[in-house]
Amino acid sequence: MSAQILSGKEVASAVRAEVATRVAALKERGRTVGLATVMVGEDPASEVYVRSKHRAAERAGMLSFDYHLPADAAQEQVETRVRKLNSDDRVDAMIVQLPLPTGLDGNQAVAAIDPAKDADGLHPYNLGLLAMERGHLRPATPSGIMRMLDYYDIATTGKLAVIIGRSFLVGKPMALLLGAKGVDATVVQAHSRTRDLFDLARRADILVAAIGRPRFINGDHIKPGAVVIDVGINRTDDGLVGDVDFASAIEVASAITPVPGGVGLMTVASLLANTVTAAEHAAG
């Protein structure tokens, strides 16, 4: 058996087209849509990611604002920049690019964002609304995964979903979304300290790998016919690889996301969707 490839490129293209249509509708009402990023330091990977966000925003017809602070910026400088963007009417949503340099508190910087302008959907207020199955700005990567599952018509009701990873960026909100009413998966949240982790993974109908270890999961750890969502992006001597060993997993799974070309593209598309949603709410 060879798995169906769940292309992030195809789904992200559909999302970006929808976003562009919504941006154009707001422009007809005399309303622009603006996305801002705040980056601290010179991390090459973050710089590439931020540039991709701005290119995607501009292609969707949005205004794009890039604020870059030096690596030795103090916490108050970062939060001051965030507060200025909170009051900037041109900016509908913003992102503080994580991780911040050593000595700075990324969680505190995110908490300084106006929840109504939270493009990443990671403000504590928005995460709380997610836990209550409310709100409209949801964490970008998990939202992108849910969009992929819907696009490829992958059934979730009654399925056992095992999520390997418990970060507030992906693992925790992913569990909330998969277990929500209307999605109705039975969710197990696993992590690096889970006993018999691989045995648990072999039981999953939907396996989400978000642990940050290259090729941590291989074909021996996957239930035949399972759907495998690889969130990992790891830089190795072989280039970018996921948390799943793609070559062995594709022979066991029924469907799998590639790395690159999978979930990562959906993250950027979901950021754009959050931004135009924030603009629509601000416009009433």
C-alpha 68/C-alpha 208 separation (Å) is 33
Instruction: Tell me the residue type at 99.
Output: P
Is residue 188 a contact partner of residue 234, using CB atoms and an 8 Å limit? no
* Start-to-end C-alpha separation, the chain: 50
- Domain residue spans in the chain? 30-115, 139-264
User: What DSSP string describes 39-106?
Assistant: EES--HHHHHHHHHHHHHHHHTT-EEEEEEE-TT--HHHHHHHHHHHHT-TT-SEEEE-SSPPTTS-H
Instruction: Tell me the residue type at 247.
Output: A
C-alpha 239/C-alpha 253 separation (Å) is 23
Same fold, 30-115 and 139-264: yes
Catalytic residue among 92, 97, 189, 243: 97
| pTM for the structure as a whole | 0.94
Beta strands in the chain, from DSSP E residues, in sequence order: 4-5, 34-40, 63-69, 93-96, 160-164, 186-190, 206-209, 227-230, 234-236, 239-241, 255-256
- In Å, what is the CA distance from 266 to each residue of 145, 221, 250, 273? 7, 25, 20, 10
CA proximity to 58, closest of 30, 34, 88: 34
CA proximity to 120, closest of 101, 87, 144, 104: 144
Note the pLDDT of residue 121: 96
Query: Catalytic site residue 75?
Result: no
Is residue 227 a contact partner of residue 255, using CB atoms and an 8 Å limit? yes
Report H helices in 205-262.
246-249
Catalytic residue among 92, 117, 118, 120: 120
- CATH number at 30-115: 3.40.50.10860
Cis omega (within 30 of 0) on the bond before 44? Answer: no
In CATH terms, the superfamily for domain 139-264 is NAD(P)-binding Rossmann-like Domain (3.40.50.720)
> Digits of tens for pLDDT over the chain (284 positions)?
689 999 999 999 999 999 999 999 999 999 999 999 999 998 888 888 899 999 999 999 999 999 999 999 999 999 999 999 999 999 999 999 999 999 999 999 999 999 999 999 999 999 999 999 999 999 999 999 999 999 999 999 999 999 999 999 999 999 999 999 999 999 999 998 999 999 999 999 999 999 999 999 999 999 999 999 999 999 898 888 999 999 999 999 999 999 999 999 999 999 999 999 999 999 98
Note the pLDDT of residue 1: 61
Is residue 130 a contact partner of residue 105, using CB atoms and an 8 Å limit? no
CA 11 to chain centre: 14
Note the pLDDT of residue 44: 84
- In Å, what is the CA distance from 197 to each residue of 162, 169, 246? 10, 21, 19
Query: Catalytic site residue 230?
Result: no
Query: Catalytic site residue 245?
Result: no
